[in-house]
């Protein structure tokens, strides 16, 4: 009896309680609904006054203190083969860009993404989500290589209102989500912007280094040890 009681006490005090065994997941949609109204109110005022620095600070603060560490919802998307896919069908860390055909990519953006996707597709799922119809998305998809998954949501069909309200009409376009294999959001970033006067090589390097920074430091956890945004080698 004494041995049984001793064994029970050891097991009781060495095992975590049921409440500690599994982290309670807080989803992106929940956090966004709580904090988006206040963010939008302040951001609209900042941009109306053309205070772009404040606008960027508000976005960065929303991401860093509220949205990061939440879990992406299991949204549904359309594939170009007409089959539906859910976000949780992706098992690797995800580099997700939300886009639209009216967004004008900088000259080096797509080539940089294509090169990095070719290098890291075995470790990361690269996903481009277009807010367009199937025909337009198919045309846009031609610019990306086979290592990038192209998805779309057609707002005119009115069958994806939930995902549209959460991902499209909340943070603007284009927006990049860095998400680990458990679907936890590690960071959310705006795309690289630069003046139109830059050469292709300069544009490529800016985009390559920005994308690589997210891949290495967030999705793979590698040391990003290239000094001073080292220039990427073009193939």
Q: Which tens digits make up the pLDDT trace of 119-167?
A: 999 999 999 999 999 999 999 999 999 999 999 998 887 666 677 777 7
Q: Which tens digits make up the pLDDT trace of 12-43?
A: 555 554 444 456 899 999 999 899 999 999 99
* Residue 182 dihedral angles phi and psi, to the nearest 5°: -95, 5
Ordered by start, the domain boundaries in the chain are 25-70, 73-222
Record the pTM: 0.83
Can you give the length of the chain in residues?
235
Beta pairing class for 125-130 and 148-152: parallel
Question: Model confidence at 234, in pLDDT bands (50, 70, 90)?
Answer: very low
User: Helices marked H in 49-190 — which ranges?
Assistant: 52-62, 109-120, 134-141, 161-163
Q: Which tens digits make up the pLDDT trace of 94-123?
A: 999 999 999 888 899 999 999 999 999 999
Homologous superfamily assigned to 73-222: Glutaredoxin (3.40.30.10)
Structural tokens at position 188? 């959310």
Per the CB < 8 A criterion, the answer to whether 94 and 177 are in contact is yes
Q: How many other CB atoms are found less than 10 A from the CB of residue 212?
A: 21
Per the CB < 8 A criterion, the answer to whether 130 and 154 are in contact is no
* Among 104, 85, 106, CA closest to 149: 85
* Among 192, 184, 227, CA closest to 211: 192
Average pLDDT over residues 195-213: 91
Q: What pLDDT score was predicted for residue 20?
A: 47
Q: How many other CB atoms are found less than 10 A from the CB of residue 48?
A: 9
- Percent of the chain, pLDDT > 90? 66
Question: Model confidence at 170, in pLDDT bands (50, 70, 90)?
Answer: confident
Q: In the Cβ-directed half-sphere of 12, how many Cα atoms lie within 13 Å?
A: 6
Sheet strand arrangement including 185-190: 84-86, 76-79, 148-152, 125-130, 94-99, 175-179, 185-190
Average pLDDT over residues 84-102: 95
């Amino acid at each position: 009896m004494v041995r049984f009681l001793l064994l029970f006490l050891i097991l009781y005090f060495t095992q975590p309680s049921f409440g500690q065994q599994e982290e309670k997941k807080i989803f992106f949609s929940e956090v966004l609904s709580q904090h988006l109204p206040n963010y939008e109110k302040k951001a609209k005022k900042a941009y109306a006054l053309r205070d772009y620095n404040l606008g960027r600070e508000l976005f960065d603060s929303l991401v860093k203190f509220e949205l990061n560490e939440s879990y992406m919802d299991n949204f549904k998307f359309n594939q170009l083969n007409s089959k539906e896919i859910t976000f949780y069908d992706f098992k690797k860390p995800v580099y997700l860009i939300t886009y639209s055909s009216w967004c004008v990519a900088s000259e080096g953006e797509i080539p940089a993404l294509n090169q990095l996707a070719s290098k890291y597709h075995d470790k990361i799922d690269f996903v481009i989500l277009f807010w367009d119809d199937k025909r337009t998305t198919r045309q846009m998809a031609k610019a990306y290589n086979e290592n990038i998954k192209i998805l779309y949501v057609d707002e005119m069909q009115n069958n994806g209102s939930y995902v549209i309200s959460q991902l499209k009409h909340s943070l603007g376009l284009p927006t990049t989500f860095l998400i680990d294999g458990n679907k936890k959001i590690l960071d959310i970033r705006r795309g690289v912007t630069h003046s139109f006067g830059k050469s292709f090589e300069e544009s490529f390097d800016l985009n390559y280094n920005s994308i690589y920074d997210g891949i290495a430091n967030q999705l793979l956890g590698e040391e990003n040890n290239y000094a001073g945004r080292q220039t990427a080698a073009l193939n």
